[in-house]
Amino acid sequence: MLHALLHARSVRISVLFAFVAALLLALAAAQSASPQAAGQASGLGRHDRELLAEARAAGKSTVTLLIAARPGAGSDVVRGLQGLGARIDYRDDALGYVRAQVAVDSAERAAKLSGVQTADLDEIVPLDDPRPTGQANPTPFPAPNASTPRDNPYMPIADTGAAAFIHSNPTRDGRGVTVGVLDTGVALDHPALATTTTGAPKVVDWVTYTDPLTDGDPTWVATNAVTGPAFSAGGVAYTAPAGALRFGTFDERDARLGGEVGRDVNRDGNPAGSSGKFGVLWDGASTVWVDVDQDHDFTDEPAMTDYKVNRDVRYFGTDNPATAVAGLSVPK
């Protein structure tokens, strides 16, 4: 799956799905529930102090702090962080959220600044492999379809009374409500995620909140200026739309990549002689082309923009319908 996000200096090839608003709203909710209604924050928790000790032992000079400010205190927190020499990487005053690079020796003081509700060190949380290795295949059962009743064996909505509730209250189905989800990925073109009960788009946006400069995320692609309709980069000749553009490459074999797909996003088995690199072209404003078929020609690729604009979705590789896994490439 492919989703392109634009950045002032880079182009993002995202295989993740995240709504950071869910996290921020949860932090905001914690503000009202905290016994510390005002004054100084309690500082870093035990786990974050351990992370800070690990950073110090590893010789790191700075750490990334994720901070939720008390209502109306965002600007005060930013000024306090800057007074400690911190670099503000991101701030949202409406949500009271601040992301900052702070010196290791100043992190605990930063977490105790007046106006700070909570502060946590940024960290990478490894994900379990979702494949059911070693498990027995489930008993075959007919898939649900349009005629499947609300009271069905696929979900426990009858047991919870949800089916009866919706039957009695047909408009109480969540319409008018927007939910933020913090997750690692969904199939945005799956029919179940297409529209709501009122016909509106079900997924309204897809945002990735890793930092292109500090998080070491290889799915951010640095770009350089090129000019179409033809140019060369890294010893490879490319065909492109005419005009001033920016070009970079996404390397599916980068050692920092992981997850279910690992370092083979097009699932072709990384055959001998293949580079594992996908060209990325950006118009410098709002349009991206990705050479997903690796033929070094961008003119046969559709132009893409932010998901919230056109619901653009593409896949790396070619699906093999003979396999049970969607997106598994046809062998070359």
Q: Which of 102, 121, 140 is the last residue of a domain?
A: 121
Query: Do 260 and 303 lie in a common domain?
Result: yes
| pLDDT of the residue at 326 | 67
3-state SS track over 8-44: CCEEEEECCCECHHHHHHHHHHHHHHCCCCCCECCCC
pLDDT at 19: 34
Same domain for 7 and 80, yes or no, is: no
Whether residue 76 is found in the same domain as residue 32: yes
Does any domain span residue 89?
Answer: yes
Q: What is the pLDDT of residue 318?
A: 75
Residue 45, in any domain of the structure? yes
Are 29 and 108 part of one and the same domain? yes
State residue 304's pLDDT score. 95
Answer whether residue 27 is part of any domain. yes
| Residue that finishes a domain, picked among 99, 121, 143 | 121
199 part of a folded domain: no
> Quick one: 217 and 305 in the same domain?
yes
Q: Is residue 95 part of a domain?
A: yes
Q: Residues 262, 267, 271, CA angle at the centre, nearest 5°?
A: 100
Do residues 115 and 31 make contact, with C-beta atoms less than 8 angstroms apart? Answer: no
* pLDDT for residue 265: 87
- Domain presence at residue 262: yes
Q: How far, in Å, CA of 264 to CA of 51, rounded?
A: 31
Exposure letters 143-172 (e unless 16+ CB within 10 A, then b): eeeeeeeeeeeeeeeeeeeebeeeeeeeee
Question: Do 115 and 24 share a structural domain?
Answer: yes
The number of C-alpha atoms within 13 Å of 142 and in the hemisphere containing its C-beta is 7
Which CATH number goes with the domain that contains 106? Answer: 3.30.70.2980
User: In this structure, are 7 and 74 located in the same domain?
Assistant: no
Number of domains in the chain: 2
The residue segments making up the domain with residue 50 are: 20-121
Same domain? 32 vs 117: yes
Same domain, 231 and 284: yes
Length of the chain: 332
DSSP assigned state of 106: G
- Which of left, alpha, beta for 267 (phi over 0: left; psi -120 to 50: alpha)? left
pTM passes above 0.85:
no
pLDDT (0 to 100) of residue 262: 77
Q: Report the alpha-carbon angle 15-16-17, nearest 5.
A: 130
Dig out the tokens for 11 from the structure.
């182009």
pLDDT for position 132: 66
* Average pLDDT per block of 10 residues along the chain, 332 residues long: 34 36 43 46 88 96 95 95 96 92 96 95 80 71 84 88 90 88 81 89 87 84 96 95 96 84 83 90 95 94 93 83 67 46
Q: Is residue 159 part of a domain?
A: no
Asked if 9 and 40 sit in the same domain, the reply is no
Q: Are residues 116 and 24 in the same domain?
A: yes
Query: Do residues 8 and 78 share a domain?
Result: no
Residue 321 lies in a domain: no
Looking at 90, 106, 121, the residue that finishes a domain is 121
